[in-house]
């Protein structure tokens, strides 16, 4: 059971815009920044977008984030086949004193 709650799966067609939700509590998302990671099949996770739509070098701006209260979401516009993989949200949890992750959302591009 993950501290942050994500839907287990999401899907869309090429070019479509989809969103992935991440629900937490006042001790994590409600009081700290949210980070989103992409894990392509057989590879390590990579930071995708974080805080107020900050992106690491090379990360496309097709990925954007929003946050409201104790929930956050990742939006992917212009869906591409290479976006297929697992997506995780994460945040620091003040009560646990550590990072907490969502259970991951498997994205399928139809």
Partner 1 sequence: QVQLVESGGGVVQPGRSLRLSCAASGFTFSSYAMHWVRQAPGKGLEWVAVISYDGRKKNYADSVKGRFTISRDNSHNTLDLHMNSLRREDTAIFYCARDLASDFWSGYPGGINFWGQGTLVTVSS
Residues forming the site for partner 1 (CB under 8 A): 2, 31-33, 35, 37, 43-47, 50-51, 56, 86, 88, 90-92, 94, 96-104
Phi/psi for 83 (5° steps) reads -80, -10
Nearest to 87 by CA among 3, 6, 4: 6
| Smallest distance, partner 1 to C-beta of residue 88, A | 6
| Smallest distance, partner 1 to C-beta of residue 13, A | 26
Residues 6+ apart with CB under 8 A from 60: none
Give the nearer residue to partner 1 in terms of CB position, either 12 or 103. Answer: 103
Nearest to 21 by CA among 71, 80, 56: 71
| Smallest distance, partner 1 to C-beta of residue 101, A | 5
């Amino acid at each position: 059971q993950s501290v942050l709650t994500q839907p287990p799966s999401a899907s869309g067609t090429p070019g479509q815009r989809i969103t992935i939700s991440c629900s937490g509590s006042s001790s994590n998302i409600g009081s700290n920044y949210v980070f989103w990671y992409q894990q392509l099949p057989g590879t390590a996770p990579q930071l995708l977008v974080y805080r107020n739509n900050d992106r690491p070098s090379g990360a496309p701006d097709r990925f954007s984030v929003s946050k409201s209260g104790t929930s956050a979401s990742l939006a992917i516009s212009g869906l591409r086949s290479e976006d297929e993989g697992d997506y995780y949200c994460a945040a620091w949890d003040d009560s646990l004193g550590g990072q907490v992750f969502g259970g991951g959302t498997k994205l399928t591009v139809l």
